[in-house]
Amino acid sequence: MPHDLLVLNGKLSRPSSSTSRNVHLSPFHMPGFSLGKEALNALVTRKRIYMKGCDIIHEDRQARSAYLIYTGWACSYRLLRNGTRQIINFHVQGDLLGARRLLSPDCDDNLSAITCVEVGEIDIDNLLAAFFSDNHLAMSILWSTFRDESIVTQHLVDIGRLRPINRTAHFFLELGARLNLAGVGTGTTYQCPLTQSLIADALGLTTVHFNRVLRQLRELNTMIFHEGQVELLDSARLERLADFDSSYLR
């Protein structure tokens, strides 16, 4: 279960500037984006902590909140009728989650904490009202939503058209770029708490096959993934291997 860090007067209300916490969202190259960030942070009503493995959003529970990730990692996923799971995307510090519920309150999102995650909770009704009254905030939300769609679209292309070694190279390059934009890591060296089985699931590979691909990339002296640490040894070669262009992330 999540732990509430802040409940104002026992109900949802806007926090004061002393309790608001700034989130480093990825840079958006449009005037006024920083104002959108400030507006999002001002809408946070409380901070919550979800322990590793806890569901933040589940399709069986109607949620009326969106979330800003302050710290930790999460993943969105889809459950199949046979009980298996397909990971759709991983989420890191600065990501806005659950914005789809602005238009579809009953959408079948599932969001789970991969590590201990601290989030800022935003009431969907408040977010919707602010969306129509604050142009800067509306652009921030639209940018976040479009970027998520671009990432998922790229993952679809990777799984459908790239060989396992190419899609794995693309995954680690994309993750490094995302973390760098969020102010975490250097782009070529970063911490990654994802297990091999989680990444293999996201890439449509078995764990054994993924481990074999990692060994191939290591033998090519292009990258190392060991004990939660990623080191991209030859980014240029990896980018050629993956046909990687980070413009869809910005």
* CA–CA distance, 176 with 52 (Å, rounded to integer): 22
CATH number of the domain to which 241 belongs: 1.10.10.10
Q: Do 63 and 170 have their domain in common?
A: no
For residue 157, being part of any structural domain is answered with: no
Q: Strand, coil or helix: what is 66?
A: strand
Low-confidence ranges of the chain (pLDDT < 70): 1-36, 60-63, 103, 105-108
Residues spanned by the domain of 113: 3-152
CATH number of the domain to which 12 belongs: 2.60.120.10
Q: Given this model, what pLDDT does residue 106 score? A: 66
Q: Given this model, what pLDDT does residue 101 score? A: 72
* CA–CA distance, 131 with 137 (Å, rounded to integer): 6
Q: Do 98 and 79 have their domain in common?
A: yes
Q: Which residues fall within 8 angstroms of residue 204, CB to CB, at 6 or more apart?
A: 159, 167
> Could you give phi then psi for residue 129, rounded to 5 degrees?
-65, -40
Total count of domains within the chain:
2
Q: Given this model, what pLDDT does residue 36 score? A: 67
